[in-house]
Amino acid sequence: MLIMVAGITGNIGKQVARASLERGHQIRGLGRSPKKLDPEIHSGLESFVESKTYYDVSALEQAVKAVDAVVCTYGGLPELALDGQLLLLRAAERAGVKVGTSCQAQSISLMH
């Protein structure tokens, strides 16, 4: 599967990326700071989409294009938990993504 990890530069995002790569998945990352990625994860990525912030809709649309699944590992700030996840969800829906999940406690259930 091609899996897009939003917040891949965070603690959970790195773990999701590493575990998914070990299982043979392709990983696309979305984040603001590619320099925060471990080099071995960065070199294994299908691609990395750099965003300005969570409401950078053109970056969201680029990130979800043609992926099989979306995993949201944004930090726990309220604006990320609500606005950030909703913008990501809407972009994924527009792109026809059918599978998604979030590690945030307040997560919105994504597509099935």
Cβ proximity to ligand NAP, 57 vs 96, nearer residue: 57
Q: Is 104 in the site for ligand NAP (CB under 6 A)?
A: yes
Provide CB contacts within 8 A for 104, sequence distance 6+: 72, 74, 76, 80, 81, 85
Helix (H, G, I), strand (E, B) or coil at 66: coil
The secondary structure element, H or E, covering residue 3 is: strand 2-6
Q: Is 100 in the site for ligand NAP (CB under 6 A)?
A: no
Tokens 């969800």, located at residue: 89
Lookup: tokens for 54: 């969570």
CB of 91 to ligand NAP, least distance (A): 13
Measured between alpha carbons, how far is 61 from 103 in angstroms, rounded to an integer? 21
Per CB under 6 A, the segment of 40-48, 57-65, 93-101, 102-110 that binds ligand NAP is 102-110
The 11-40 site mask, x for binding ligand NAP (CB under 6 A), equals: xxx-----------------xxx--x----
Q: Is 7 in the site for ligand NAP (CB under 6 A)?
A: yes
Kindly list the residues in this chain that would bind ligand NAP in the complex (CB under 6 A): 7, 9-13, 31-33, 36, 53-54, 73-76, 80, 103-105
